[in-house]
Amino acid sequence: MLTKCVIKAGEYHDSVALMQTARKLKELPGVRDAAVVMATAANKGILRQAGLMHPEIDSARPDDLVIVVRANDEEAAARALREADGHLRQRGAVAESGQASRPRSIRAARSTSHPNLAVISVAGQYATAEAWEALKAGLHVLLFSDNVSLADELALKRYAVEHGLLLMGPGCGTAIINGVALGFANVVPRGPVGIVAAAGTGLQEVSTLLARLGVGISQAIGTGGRDLAEEVGGIAMLQGLRALQADPATEVLVLISKPPASAVASRVLEQVQASAKPSVVCFLGGAGAPPRAVPSLSGRGMPQFAVDSPASTGMITAGTLQEAAYQAAACAGHAFSTSVARTIENESIDLRGRAAVLRRHLGPQQKYLRGLFSGGTLATEALWIWKDVLGDVLSNVPLDARFRLADPAQSQGHCALDLGEEEFTVGRPHPMIDNDLRARRLLQEAADPEVAVIILDVVLGYGAHPDPARELVPAIAKTRGLGGRRERGLLFVASVTGTDQDPQGLARQVKALQDAGVAVCSCNAAAARLAGMIVAPPSV
């Protein structure tokens, strides 16, 4: 067994090309593992954890391309490196030829059609210039790209507001505008609920839960994750909120965000209260958030939820994305058999019973929970549910800076990772597109004898991996053969965000995970509660 690498200085390929090339190499005879990534510090750490680090890679710069293979012999390694080079060159040539008949700029696109919205997804250093071109051409913008400075974001959004345009982003991963899904959005019906979200997977979670209840979406506007930061001031959320308050097709509003700046949240809530439309506000762990939905995970005390509000008017605060979806559905006329609070309470009672059964499979040494999330909002929701119940849950996206994980490449104690953060995605695909990083990390966590349960989110929809269970199930199966696992169990808990109409098919994904022994829950909040119940101290 040997490891060989090639470093290509200053060579750039998009993350999907890198992902596809790495997959192709792994399928070659004699190749045990392979990676094709940019030489960022985070990617070097991942290579080191995977046993793919080579001494030459240490001196590579972040804008250098690294191709590394672990193979049975020199011949297999050399063949794989040649194959990688040829595959990347071929993809580049195909991309160039395929662009010949397509517009190559926003100006050219406007001359061949009559668009009113531009979706921009380019490397961060080019995104700002493209957004300016689109706005000055009179186009609304969904800015999918990240790595845009706060100063540029503020300038772009101010210009957009002054000219009656909407700028969603930067880092806006999801929107549904006039029934058209943009970015990582799901197949959901049209209906009376309008959503404004500074959280992409939060928007997906709420819209798909509504769809499962038979409630549709009028518009779903993404703002970008930093919109409610003090520096930006909630410009896009306020703009979207006012637009939906004036929209006759929108009867119920839902606002979603990770913890916002207090002053910004106050401005948004003032605007919410200026309208008679029922509005559900879910600011996870931030200003306006109600007490946590699960103060007790063991059964010593019932969960406390926000009180149901009349469907006719007013603001309703929700502590979780699940509660936000259920409250919005109730406002839109969905008839729950009991109140929303009691519906979720009853589910928690059922989860407590499941947790008691699952806990019997654990050994006395197993006590820790590890979360491997592809959705940042879903990670935040889980941390909010676990706060004050599991003690210090470390994370690369902590609710409290005191609990920031020192090294994202190495988990400690109870730990939850957002694998979609920039330290993991620079130079590699987002985990909603490619589960390779998550599969590697899953095996790393499973090798820790103190780990009791691993929680996963699986997010479906346009742009996401066509069959995520197909990538995750083999990794889960591999954990069964890890040394020391014969005398103890390792539990897996998951949620699947999506609908049966999504390309991946909700029911198919759930069944594949269940067949692999995963405890699949109805939503991310339920999965977080179940995982927390499994490892919560008996006194909680």
What pLDDT digit, counting tens, does each position of 474-522 carry? 999 998 866 554 456 899 999 999 999 999 999 999 999 999 999 999 9
Q: What distance separates the 2 farthest-apart alpha carbons in the chain?
A: 72
Question: What span, in angstroms and rounded, lies between the C-alpha atoms of 482 and 471?
Answer: 18
Question: What span, in angstroms and rounded, lies between the C-alpha atoms of 41 and 537?
Answer: 37
Helices then strands, counting H and E runs in the chain, come out as 17, 19
Single-letter amino acid, residue 531: A
Q: Which residue has the higher pLDDT, 125 or 31?
A: 31
**Where does the pLDDT of residue 426 fall: very low under 50, low under 70, confident under 90, or very high at 90 and above?**
low
Superfamily of domain covering 2-98 = Ribosomal protein S6/Translation elongation factor EF1B (3.30.70.60)
And the tokens for 63?
């804008």
As annotated, the residues of the chain forming the CATH 3.40.50.261 domain(s) are 106-337, 348-535
Q: Which residue has the higher pLDDT, 90 or 194?
A: 194
Q: Taking residues 394-421, report their average pLDDT.
A: 93
Q: What is the DSSP letter of 55?
A: G
How many other β-carbons are positioned within 10 Å of the β-carbon of residue 431? 28
Residue position matching structure tokens 């395929």: 98
Q: What is the pLDDT of residue 310?
A: 38
Burial of 392: CB neighbours in 10 Å, binned 0-12, 13-18, 19+: middle
Does the CA dihedral 276-277-278-284 come out positive or negative?
A: negative
CATH 3.20.20.70 for domain 106-337:
no
Q: Taking residues 117-124, report their average pLDDT.
A: 85
CATH 3.40.50.1970 for domain 348-535:
no
Question: What span, in angstroms and rounded, lies between the C-alpha atoms of 46 and 342?
Answer: 44
Question: What span, in angstroms and rounded, lies between the C-alpha atoms of 184 and 217?
Answer: 16
Single-letter amino acid, residue 408: P
Q: How far separated are the first and last CA of the chain, in Å rounded?
A: 49
Q: Taking residues 279-307, report their average pLDDT.
A: 51
Q: Which residue has the higher pLDDT, 259 or 257?
A: 257
pLDDT tens sequence across 36-92 = 888 888 788 878 877 889 999 999 998 899 999 999 999 999 999 999 988 888 865
Question: What span, in angstroms and rounded, lies between the C-alpha atoms of 203 and 220?
Answer: 7
As annotated, the residues of the chain forming the CATH 3.30.70.60 domain(s) are 2-98
Q: Which residue has the higher pLDDT, 259 or 397?
A: 397
